[in-house]
């Protein structure tokens, strides 16, 4: 039973570029959430997707957008990259959303470096 | 929004020692999770514990929801327990999690 998978593992971009990160949820899960973790900090919630729609969003600008596909996999897109976007990006999956009552399982993350 | 505070921020112990990590949260919650982040960044689920006490081997956790805190106990520490321990609670009643800043635990041989 595969857990949450993410690609790529590492990525280096320059300021102003755009990036796409990918996530496949744990088998049996159809809700995907994205988090940003800066060095030395706890993860911060970006947004959550369920039934191919953004269900909940954290305090992140519109440069951060996402998509969920019919097979429940998801993409995170970041436009006009800033140096401050350098971070570990984590994807988490959970079963049908239960208003905060479900366990979330995390993938290994994508480490993004913006130069 | 809800605030999550963890203490201590750093903890250095010798192998075999016991430790207690604390998580305080500012509002009522219906979910609380403890995670261990290994040196490669992987967040590993330890406990889903909205209330009460759970045990898993050398680790146990207690959440007192009415007093808005949770404790993670690690007994007979091993070097492999090193890493950062996070607690997280739902953000505003939905599923996105709010994390504390973590406790960085170092177990020395």
Summarised one tens digit per residue, pLDDT across range B44-99 is 999 999 999 999 999 999 999 999 999 999 999 999 999 999 999 988 656 789 99
* B98 neighbors A45 (Cβ within 8 angstroms): yes
In chain A, which residues have pLDDT < 50? Answer: none
Three-state SS at B75: coil
pLDDT of A96 reads 67
Confidence check: pLDDT of B40 > 90: no
pLDDT tens digit sequence for B70-81: 999 999 999 999
Interface of A with B (CB under 8 A): 31, 33, 35, 37, 41-45, 47-48, 55-56, 58, 88, 90, 92, 94, 97-106, 108-109, 111
Residue closest to B74 by CA, chosen among B16, B10, B23: B16
Q: Which residue of A has its CA nearest to B42?
A: A108
Cβ neighbours of B63 in A, within 8 Å: none
Cβ neighbours of A55 in B, within 8 Å: 94-95
pLDDT of B76 reads 97
Count of CB atoms within 10 A of residue A16's CB?
10
pLDDT tens digit sequence for B18-38: 999 999 999 988 889 999 999
The answer for A51, left when phi > 0, alpha when psi is -120 to 50, beta otherwise, is left
CA distance A84 to chain B (A): 18
Cβ neighbours of B40 in A, within 8 Å: 108
CB neighbour class for B100 (10 Å; exposed up to 12, middle 13-18, buried from 19) = buried
* B10 neighbors B27 (Cβ within 8 angstroms): no
Which residue of B65, B96, B103, B104 is the best one to mutate when testing the A interface, meaning the one whose CB has the most A CBs within 10 A? B96
CA distance B109 to chain A (A): 24
pLDDT of B13 reads 96
pLDDT of A80 reads 98
pLDDT of A98 reads 57
Cβ neighbours of B90 in A, within 8 Å: 99-100
């Amino acid at each position: 039973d595969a857990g949450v998978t993410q690609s790529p593992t590492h990525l280096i971009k320059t300021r102003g570029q755009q990036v796409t990160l990918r996530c496949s949820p744990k088998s049996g899960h159809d809700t995907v959430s994205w988090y940003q973790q800066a060095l030395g900090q706890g993860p911060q919630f970006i947004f959550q997707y369920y039934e191919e729609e953004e269900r909940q969003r954290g305090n992140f600008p519109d440069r951060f957008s996402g998509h969920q596909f019919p097979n429940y996999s998801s993409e995170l897109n970041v436009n006009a990259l800033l140096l401050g976007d350098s971070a570990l990006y984590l994807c988490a999956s959970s079963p049908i959303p239960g208003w905060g009552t479900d366990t979330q399982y995390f993938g290994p993350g994508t480490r993004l470096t913006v130069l | 929004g809800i605030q999550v505070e963890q203490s201590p921020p750093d903890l250095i112990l010798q192998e075999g020692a016991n430790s207690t990590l604390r998580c305080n949260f500012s509002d009522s919650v219906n979910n609380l999770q403890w995670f261990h982040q290994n040196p490669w960044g992987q967040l590993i689920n330890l406990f889903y514990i909205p209330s009460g006490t759970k045990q898993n081997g050398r680790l146990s956790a207690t959440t007192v929801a009415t007093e808005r805190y949770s404790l993670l106990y690690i007994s007979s520490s091993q070097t492999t327990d090193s890493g950062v321990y996070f607690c997280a609670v739902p953000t505003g009643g939905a599923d996105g999690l709010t994390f504390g800043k973590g406790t960085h635990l170092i177990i020395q041989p």
